[in-house]
Amino acid sequence: MDATGISHIAICVRDLDKSLAFYRDILGMRITSDVVQDTTTGGLPHVYKHSRKTRRQVRLMYGEGVTSPTLTMTSHPGEEPDGDPIKLDQIGISHLSFSVPDVKALAEELVSKGVQLAGPLESRMDAQGNLGNFYVYDPDGILIQFDSGGGG
pLDDT digits (tens, 9 = 90+) for 5-52: 788 899 999 999 999 999 999 999 999 999 999 888 776 777 788 888
- Is 38 a member of any domain? yes
CATH (domain of 122): 3.10.180.10
- Is 84 a member of any domain? no
Per-residue confidence (pLDDT) for residue 7, from 0 to 100: 85
Q: How confident is the model at residue 146 (pLDDT cuts 50, 70, 90)?
A: very high
Residue range of the domain that includes 13:
8-75
141 and 111 both lie in a single domain: yes
55 and 110 both lie in a single domain: no
The answer to whether residue 67 scores a pLDDT higher than 80 is: no
In a 10 Å sphere around its CB, with 0-12 CB exposed, 13-18 middle and 19+ buried, how is residue 128 labelled?
exposed
47 and 101 both lie in a single domain: no
